[in-house]
Amino acid sequence: MGRDRLDTVSIANRGLNYGDGVFETMRVHRGALPLWPQHLARLREGAGRLGIAVPDVDFIEARIADMVSAVDAGVLKLLLTRGEGGRGYAPPADAVPTWMLSLQPLPEVLAGLRVHPCETRLSMQAALAGIKHCNRLEQVLGRAEAVRAGCDEGLMQDLAGNPVCATSANLLVLRDGRWRTPAVETCGVAGVLRAWLLAQDLVEVAAVPPEGLADADALALCNAVRGILPMRALGAREWSPHQATDELQARLAMAYPMFQHAGSKP
């Protein structure tokens, strides 16, 4: 398998066997990826932490353009694994990275999310925190809980019981007129849309204790595919639509018109 090829997955692929890889899930808008620079930066960060070489970026961008140039709206996933290796956890020194692209339609739109408080907790591992590595079993279990509860998403906590994020989105908490988001230094994913909100000083990083959600003025989720999604309910607690959420969505849509509509179902 060469670094400049689009490959299918071998049974010996370490991404399949051990989750040894990273991925990015990106919004396609009018034949382009508006947030590609941010996704590429996170891809490089994650691959660097795992010691996986990123294939030639010019080649990847050319293949992306081939795939999305005629697509008005969709979701593009880029998966990068360490490649093939023998049995055992030790990374082969000569492994050649494998990367793949897949294109899916956009999720359907929802006006507000019903979120299930998950029993499954996020393990705390600073070496993996923030990056989108391929071991997502905690999120798989959390989303399965949400589906069984008849909800749209699942809210996940760390081992100490502090709210961190949803299974596939970052958490935004409005209190006293200011949006806050939990830190992701020990667990959770550093979302590219979360990073944009922080850079624009629209959100700040702050600890959110377990009791800090029920009395919040509003809750929302955000990710780079669906934008900002107002949370209608968390368990039995419900919230009415809030003007601050509308304003935050409007600020995002001014910068990225692809998010001008209300949120989408996960």
Per run of 10 residues, the mean pLDDT along the chain (length 266 residues) is 53 93 98 98 97 94 96 97 90 91 90 95 96 97 98 96 97 96 97 98 93 92 96 95 96 95 43
The β-bridge partners of 227 are 223
Domains defined along the chain, listed by start: 14-104 (3.30.470.10), 113-259 (3.20.10.10)
Distance between CA atoms of residues 193 and 226, nearest Å: 10
Distance between CA atoms of residues 49 and 143, nearest Å: 27
Predicted confidence at residue 266, as pLDDT, reads: 35
Distance between CA atoms of residues 77 and 45, nearest Å: 17
Q: Which residues contact 223 (CB under 8 A, 6 or more apart)?
A: 168, 169, 170, 191, 193
Strand, helix or coil at 163? strand
Predicted confidence at residue 265, as pLDDT, reads: 36
Helices 243-255/192-199 angle, 10° precision: 100
Predicted confidence at residue 8, as pLDDT, reads: 63
Predicted confidence at residue 261, as pLDDT, reads: 64
Q: What is the pTM of this model?
A: 0.92
